[in-house]
Structure 1
């Protein structure tokens, strides 16, 4: 049985892996994808991580993983399908085997006398653990307009650093107004003939330094008070239908690619019913990363907090393991 199962291998999960290993915990980090690093892998440049100014996001993610590997942290590539408390698993087993003296071994933790802990069911195996750290991060929000789903991978993208090279010398549009959207526009401007930045408000939400840079680029045009209504194309993106939110005027923009950067959605579906979440799905947990369920902790972008950046995710990972240690010392 593990002391800690960390779900997710982004900055928060990798930080927690490192701290757990150094603390002597028997821990494993589950990663659904074969590449550690989370969303930072899709960031062209990270200019606000102390000590590593201007580092490529992919390189930073690899450095995190290399650090964890150097310490001998355990990783498992597996998709989590369900999380149950040992108590709930025991109740279910009792119901299935009502009237029998013995329960199926697969439905029970190895130590049948243990009255706390969790069973994490994955597509590989069932894992028994005393505590869980949810660090699954978040996924890209979608526009929800006609043509988006159909043309994803055929000109619609959620990662400029991943797919930008395919649009060299072409015309692209970035939808959004935050840091990621502006960073995407800056990145694409280096290779694209023209970049449109589509924002529904009359001012950007991005950091001032990013706004200054994007507004200085001659091949970037910002369309204010504008929303995307439809993405057109047959086997590839050909146009973006726009609407001015103030005038109601519609226009069709001929583009080769559409990059969507309208926010993130927490990846916390497997936690529903287990811990308290807000109306958007973010896990309610304080700076100690403790959730409403004893023994379950949350770190990184999945946690409800003011600032979601690499540095705060790394801090969450460290804080979470500190709380895990305190919890285990109280229940062992």
Structure 2
């Protein structure tokens, strides 16, 4: 049997695409993949409180948000398979999608495999992940955990600069830990950092240990030149050292940028392969938010439905 639409990956982008495609009676098939402990749902499965997703005035945990989205997708008829896709063939039509135990053909595909935040894997990192250590200041920085406290940001590029500046809205002091003796951030961002009285830059410095009692209370840092170790009493440690898009599967199949993110056309989610779309963090290295991922999942489903209708591949009601 040839599937109308296969969605690869879950998370806010994948589940939203499945909801819209299901409501359009496309009978979508989703390979959810495994993100954390054999459970699908993307990066939000490792997030505790989500306070900036619209519709939840008191906030909601990442796993609960993904549970609600998953159930909504199933309500509209999406068929979910908890397998990782291991191979795709976009060179022939129908496309061939091969997962751990399942192989299907598809007229259209939406890729929602996301991106993985780079970590340092320091001592104590796993214990305090989402209990003081985070890879997204914009997502977590407004938490009461960090208000009027001292925090640290690791990195030297524009993302690190942006996150350090953002955190000054909430934290009393932000330490920017830079491995080298210079910043990679743009000149404008550097000027803003140097001028800000709530930001202290520490050169040749990397964190090596995180410690605390249930939540983060401090870090040990090391000078990369002298190897001297010192301590900062911080309640937050934010990694801004980049993300790795989960696109190894698609190398040689669709066009990727230098960082490995899928390139989409203009204001759409279309890739260079007709009939294949990409949504969420796998094609977004700028915003990386649950709400923007969900938005592109909606876009991809709309575009896929219209494309299938125009091609006359199937008869489906319009989404709008």
Q: Same fold (TM over 0.5)?
A: yes
Distance apart, 1:206 and its partner CA: 2.9
- Partner SS for 2:49: coil
Distance apart, 1:178 and its partner CA: 4.1
Q: Hey, what does 2:26 align to over in structure 1?
A: 25
Aligned equivalents of 2:41, 2:3: Cα separation in 1: 23
Q: How many residues align?
A: 272
Aligned equivalents of 1:208, 1:253: Cα separation in 2: 24
Conserved 8 A contact 1:290-1:297:
yes
Q: Hey, what does 2:253 align to over in structure 1?
A: 274
Conserved 8 A contact 1:139-1:267:
yes
Please point out which of 152, 156, 178 is paired with 1:197: 152
Cα RMSD after superposing both structures: 3.7
Deviations 1:38-96 (A, max 9, x none): 22233333333223235133232222122223223210011111101363xxxxxxxxx
Conserved 8 A contact 2:53-2:290:
yes
Pair 208,28 (structure 1): closer, same or farther in 2 beyond 3 Å: same
The answer to whether 1:296 aligns with 2:276 is yes
Structure 2: runs of 5+ lacking an equivalent: 175-197, 211-217, 314-320
Aligned equivalents of 1:86, 1:78: Cα separation in 2: 23
Pair 207,300 (structure 1): closer, same or farther in 2 beyond 3 Å: farther
Q: Hey, what does 2:57 align to over in structure 1?
A: 53
- Partner SS for 1:324: helix
Pair 199,223 (structure 1): closer, same or farther in 2 beyond 3 Å: farther
Distance apart, 1:30 and its partner CA: 0.8
Aligned equivalents of 1:175, 1:198: Cα separation in 2: 10
Q: Hey, what does 2:72 align to over in structure 1?
A: 67
Greater alpha carbon shift after TM alignment, 118-127 vs 11-20: 118-127
The answer to whether 1:261 aligns with 2:239 is yes
Q: Hey, what does 2:99 align to over in structure 1?
A: 122
TM-score by length of 2: 0.71
Pair 196,214 (structure 1): closer, same or farther in 2 beyond 3 Å: closer
Pair 159,79 (structure 1): closer, same or farther in 2 beyond 3 Å: farther
- Partner SS for 2:6: strand
Conserved 8 A contact 2:86-2:249:
yes
Deviations 1:286-330 (A, max 9, x none): 332100111111000011464221111111111101111122123
Pair 315,85 (structure 1): closer, same or farther in 2 beyond 3 Å: same
TM-score by length of 1: 0.69
- Partner SS for 2:56: coil
Distance apart, 1:205 and its partner CA: 1.8
Structure 1: runs of 5+ lacking an equivalent: 88-115, 165-171
Distance apart, 1:279 and its partner CA: 0.6
Deviations 1:98-118 (A, max 9, x none): xxxxxxxxxxxxxxxxxx221
Aligned equivalents of 1:26, 1:32: Cα separation in 2: 19
